[in-house]
């Protein structure tokens, strides 16, 4: 019964998963040089904060490529359950490699065509990060009483 409720909640959010993937693709988080990391991290953090997560932004000072022009900002969000227990952590990276040539669509437009999302990072790893966010939101929406904590992080440079 509990799993059915969860799976039904996830299925009902299919459109939200597609939309969130498109939203994340629209951040041109190309590494190098490291564009748009902070806006992407804050977008994720704002969404999760609205769901009751505590959100921290951690800059990776001193790492290769980190600079004031291209700060390497990661987002870590946590929501504690009603009682003690283990932490389940979902991690995905928000950076992508250069788009390269040969695209039939703008690689940062987040285009949906024939039921598929096209854009840089859909498979590695913005689509996966969107899936983790939607899954955790589905757990909350299904009213599942979980012990411990749920965490999601969006990191730079994997």
**Active site members:** 95, 158
Angle subtended at Cα 126 by Cα 112 and Cα 132, rounded to the nearest 5 degrees:
105
How does 93-117 read in b/e, with b if 16+ C-beta sit within 10 Å?
Answer: bbbbeeeeeeeeeebbebbeeeeeb
């Amino acid at each position: 019964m509990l799993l059915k409720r969860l799976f039904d909640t996830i299925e009902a959010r299919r459109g939200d998963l597609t939309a969130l993937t498109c939203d994340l693709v629209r951040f041109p988080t190309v590494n190098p040089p490291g564009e748009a990391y902070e806006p992407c991290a804050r977008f994720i953090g704002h969404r999760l904060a609205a769901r009751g997560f505590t959100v921290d932004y951690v800059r990776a000072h001193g790492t290769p490529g980190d600079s004031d022009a291209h700060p390497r900002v990661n987002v870590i969000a946590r929501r504690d359950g009603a009682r003690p227990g283990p932490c389940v952590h979902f991690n995905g990276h928000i950076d992508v490699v250069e788009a390269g040539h040969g695209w039939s669509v703008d690689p940062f437009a987040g285009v949906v065509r024939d039921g598929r999302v096209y854009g840089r990072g859909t498979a590695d790893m913005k689509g996966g990060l969107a899936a983790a966010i939607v899954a955790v939101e589905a757990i909350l929406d299904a009213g599942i009483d979980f012990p411990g904590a749920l965490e999601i992080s969006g990191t730079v440079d994997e």
